[in-house]
Amino acid sequence: MAKHKKQRNLRRRNAITGYFFISPFIIGFLVFLLKPMIESFRMSFCNVLIAAGQQEGGKGFILEPIKTWKDSNYYRAFLYDPYFKDRLVDSLKEMAIQVPAILVFSFFIALILNQEFKGRGFVRAIFFLPVILSSGVIVGLEYNNSLMSGMQDVIKEAGNGINITATLETILKTTGLGGKILDPVFKIIEAVYDVALASGIQIVIFISGLQTVSTSMYEAAKIEGCTAWESFWKITFPLVSSMILVNLVYTTVDFLMRTDNQAMVSITEKVNPQMEYGLSAAMAWSYFGIVAAVLGILTAIISKKVYYYE
């Protein structure tokens, strides 16, 4: 009886600690995000007119409810808009390629960085550096700075304009060894810079999971005659599977919420410069529902294979 009571108290303390750590997000959501979300949801069902008036901000919105389905913003988003549906499909296809690549890359790098070697802390910092450098200022410098673009031109000229990946792809397709099967591989190779740039947080999460695995398990497996490959699949992978689920959710959300994502581009275009707030809100909520559905399906599938231990 005392043991069960102690376990309940421990679970309660852990729950309180968890709520304490997420409380800044909860408070920020309630104060800054809840009201705009409700307003945008209302806008998605209305024609939004911008009217100058004597309201608090000098300008205001007039919401005219849409009565028929064919005139609704959701109907227009998927059946009338020439870009949104295609861009949404392209974003999901790219996600299906990029997310597994990021997870595999970050897991592989985490396995390496978890080993004992000189300068390990410095190397870890290098792999986490893109997370720090991916701020708005640095991204703006990368894409808009003439010096950066000039350096890219120099690199291209140094390579004599030869794209090794494209050349290899052409050779394989000519010999009949390529085709649609290898297209995702070539896309990953071409986007290896983006994959590495988006893997910093995932690497840290995987390393934290790897460090929780007791070394006594590996020692016992080695005594029993297990190879390193067998130890990986029987010990490392199962015990880190919960971190795979965490990284899967994080990577999916991070990829689908990028401002350069094609679906996000369509949503922002309707606001600026077209100023179609109702249609943009409908696209945003549709996109939110699709992202939630994708996460729900992936979580339901992966969570069945996750191994939890105490």
The model's pLDDT over 105-122, given as tens digits with 9 standing for 90+, comes to: 999 988 888 888 787 777
Beta carbons within 10 angstroms of residue 238's beta carbon: 16
Beta carbons within 10 angstroms of residue 299's beta carbon: 15
Domain co-membership, 60 together with 119: no
Please give the Cα distance from 14 to 78 (Å, whole number). Answer: 45
Residue 249 sits in a domain whose CATH number is 1.10.3720.10
Q: Domain count of the chain?
A: 2
- pTM for this one? 0.74
Domain co-membership, 207 together with 264: yes
Q: Which of 82-96, 128-142, 241-255 has the lowest mean pLDDT?
A: 128-142
**Domain assignment of residue 64, yes or no:** yes
**Domain assignment of residue 177, yes or no:** no
pLDDT digit string, tens, across residues 132-183? 665 544 544 444 445 445 545 554 555 444 455 555 556 555 655 555 666 6
Domain co-membership, 73 together with 205: no
Q: Which of 116, 15, 38, 9 is nearest to 281 (CA)?
A: 38
**Domain assignment of residue 243, yes or no:** yes
Domain co-membership, 64 together with 112: no
Domain co-membership, 69 together with 96: no
Domain co-membership, 206 together with 246: yes
Domain co-membership, 265 together with 210: yes
**Domain assignment of residue 155, yes or no:** no
Domain co-membership, 61 together with 90: no
C-alpha count within 13 angstroms, C-beta hemisphere, residue 126? 7
Domain co-membership, 50 together with 112: no
Domain assignment of residue 75, given as a range: 45-80
